[in-house]
């Protein structure tokens, strides 16, 4: 299969891997490949049980590691204690990833010469990704990016290995639902998680709930917006119960990274 030879060669040079593992398809594939090519003794997946990670994603990450015999360490990172993070500037992701890689660097001290790797792919290089600056500062390596895999190729390789995550919808951190400049709090993150679970339960597994204080704005794929609007009454009732006095459905539909438009406008 395309890319497999390049990936095998990439890992042939790797003395050992500490994988920044969120449970998404990209980092899951990176962790799987590290386990496959390096063996259990020379790899460790590390997941941050951050408040910005959905609890369901944390459990799925645990399940994936268990199913694929990947050593896993779950850590607690303190980005919510950092005003550079919780004040939510447009480079918030930099401070989040800096905190994560700093923790990984500490773990790296127990595994001299091992590389810290992540699941960045070729498409990430063309997107707004402040976290990649933090990765560069900690000499984090990216096998998927280095071997030329884009998002579609990542899913194709994951499907080739019959990984359970191969078609998992993208699930960026919950903080990405809060407009830049609005403070990130634990309460907001849990509120968003609960709201998105409600939308999923109603039959819309790909969704985002953007947090505008007392108002929630729901995004679903464009072709599902009409169906979502038919659920408006029950959504309003259930969202009110978790603290949103207003609810609206985004007529444009789901657009990944929609809040980043504010950066360009600024």
Sorted by where each begins, the domain ranges of the chain are: 4-160, 174-265
Specify the pairing of strand 208-212 against strand 72-75: unpaired
Please tell me the distance from the alpha carbon of residue 211 to that of residue 249, in angstroms, as a whole number: 12
As a whole number of angstroms, the distance between CA 57 and CA 50 comes to 11
**pTM to 2 decimals?**
0.92
Mean pLDDT of 119-145: 91
pLDDT digits (tens, 9 = 90+) for 165-177: 999 988 899 999 9
Which CATH superfamily groups domain 4-160?
A: HUPs (3.40.50.620)
Architecture of domain 174-265: 2-Layer Sandwich (3.30)
pLDDT in tens, 182-215: 999 999 999 999 999 999 999 999 999 999 999 9
What pLDDT digit, counting tens, does each position of 149-161 carry? 999 999 999 999 9
In angstroms, the CA 173 to CA 122 distance is 20
Tens of pLDDT, residue by residue over 36-63, are 999 999 999 999 999 999 999 999 999 9
Query: Can 4-160 and 174-265 be said to share one CATH topology?
Result: no
Query: pLDDT-based confidence at 255, cuts 50/70/90?
Result: confident
d(CA 80, CA 17): 27
**Residues assigned a catalytic role:** 173
Across the range 211-231, mean pLDDT stands at: 97
CA 88, 192, 231 angle in degrees (round to 5)? 135
Residue 264 has pLDDT above 70, yes or no: no
Predicted confidence at residue 266, as pLDDT, reads 47
- pLDDT score of 72 more than 60: yes
């Amino acid at each position: 299969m395309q890319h497999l030879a390049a990936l095998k060669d990439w890992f042939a040079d790797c003395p050992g891997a500490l994988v920044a593992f969120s449970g998404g398809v990209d980092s899951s594939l990176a962790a799987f490949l590290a386990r496959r090519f390096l063996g259990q003794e020379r790899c460790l997946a590390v997941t941050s049980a951050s408040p910005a990670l959905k609890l369901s994603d944390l459990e799925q990450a645990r399940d994936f590691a268990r199913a694929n015999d990947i050593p896993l360490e779950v850590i607690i990172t303190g980005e919510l204690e950092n005003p550079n993070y919780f004040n939510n500037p447009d480079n918030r992701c930099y401070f989040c990833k800096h905190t994560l890689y700093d923790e990984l660097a500490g773990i790296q001290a127990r595994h001299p010469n091992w590389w810290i790797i992540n699941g960045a792919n070729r498409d990430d290089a063309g997107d707004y990704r402040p976290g990649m600056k933090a990765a560069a500062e900690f000499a984090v390596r990216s096998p998927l990016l280095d071997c030329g895999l884009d998002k579609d190729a990542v899913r194709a390789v994951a499907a080739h290995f019959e990984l359970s995550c191969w078609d998992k919808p993208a699930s960026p951190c919950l903080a990405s639902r809060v407009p830049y400049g609005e403070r990130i709090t634990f309460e907001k993150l849990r509120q968003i998680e609960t709201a998105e679970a409600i939308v999923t339960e109603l039959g819309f597994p790909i969704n985002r709930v953007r947090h505008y204080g007392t108002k929630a704005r729901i995004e679903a794929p464009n072709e599902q917006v009409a169906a979502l609007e038919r659920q408006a009454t029950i959504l309003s009732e259930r969202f009110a119960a978790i603290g949103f006095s207003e609810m609206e459905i985004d007529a444009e539909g789901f657009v990944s990274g929609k809040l980043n438009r504010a950066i360009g406008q600024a």
